Amino acid sequence: MEFIPAELLAYCESHTSEEDDLLKHITRETHAKVLMPRMLSGKLQGKLLELFTKMLNPQVILEIGTYTGYSGICMARGLGEKGKLITLDINDELEPMVRGFFERSGLSTKIDYRLGNALETIPQLEGNFDMVFIDADKFNYINYYNLVVDRVNTGGIILADNVLWSGKILVEPGKKTDKDTQALLDYNQMVQNDPRVENILLPIRDGIMMARKL
């Protein structure tokens, strides 16, 4: 997932606002107790999500893929007084840990944490979204996008994580890809060709595709 030299990454992190004690605690607990801790957003991406939220000032954010709550807390911190984050995840084993983190953040009244299959939950949600963060199973990225794009308000953004997939998206001609890599290749191309949005692929951490609704 690292595309720049470790020294440059360390320099970037040293010139990014510090994590507070809660975010550091979530990072430690995730690495100690949860499988695949590399899925954690981390300092650079977390601050980016917080600043995006503060700049956009959304009323409603939809997060698809809560994991251990780091990214959700970062976005919730950027919300205005009446803002709300709806965050969806399918892993009920992490629920006690995640709810505990949300309570400690002091933002639980702004966070609507729901468990279940997002493909089934999203159509049941009321209203539109100002910001969407997709960070769940890669195979369904296109399905998630199709469920939300027409419900994103004009000027709103859809962010999708891991779209560079540790560089696996650079496929040699004639070489077969695994299903997740192919799903991300298809997602990136679909967004690139979608006339409803303008987009940029940011080479931050494992790649973030940002699409702004026209």
Sheet of 111-115: strand order equals 111-115, 84-89, 60-64, 129-134, 152-161, 208-213, 197-202
- For residue 90, what is the domain's CATH number? 3.40.50.150
Q: Does the residue 1 lie in any domain?
A: no
Three-class secondary structure of residue 132 per DSSP: strand
pLDDT on residue 89: 98
Residue 165 has pLDDT above 70, yes or no: yes
pLDDT on residue 172: 80
Q: Does the residue 60 lie in any domain?
A: yes
Q: What is the pTM of this model?
A: 0.96
Q: pLDDT tier at 205 (50, 70, 90 boundaries)?
A: confident
Q: How many domains does the chain fold into?
A: 1
Residue 6 has pLDDT above 90, yes or no: no
Tens digit of each residue's pLDDT (9 = 90 or more) over 11-29: 999 999 999 999 999 999 9
Tens digit of each residue's pLDDT (9 = 90 or more) over 43-56: 999 999 999 999 99
145: domain range? 6-213
Length, in residues, of the chain: 214
Tens digit of each residue's pLDDT (9 = 90 or more) over 80-114: 999 999 999 999 999 999 999 999 999 999 999 99
Residue 1 has pLDDT above 80, yes or no: no
Q: Does the residue 124 lie in any domain?
A: yes
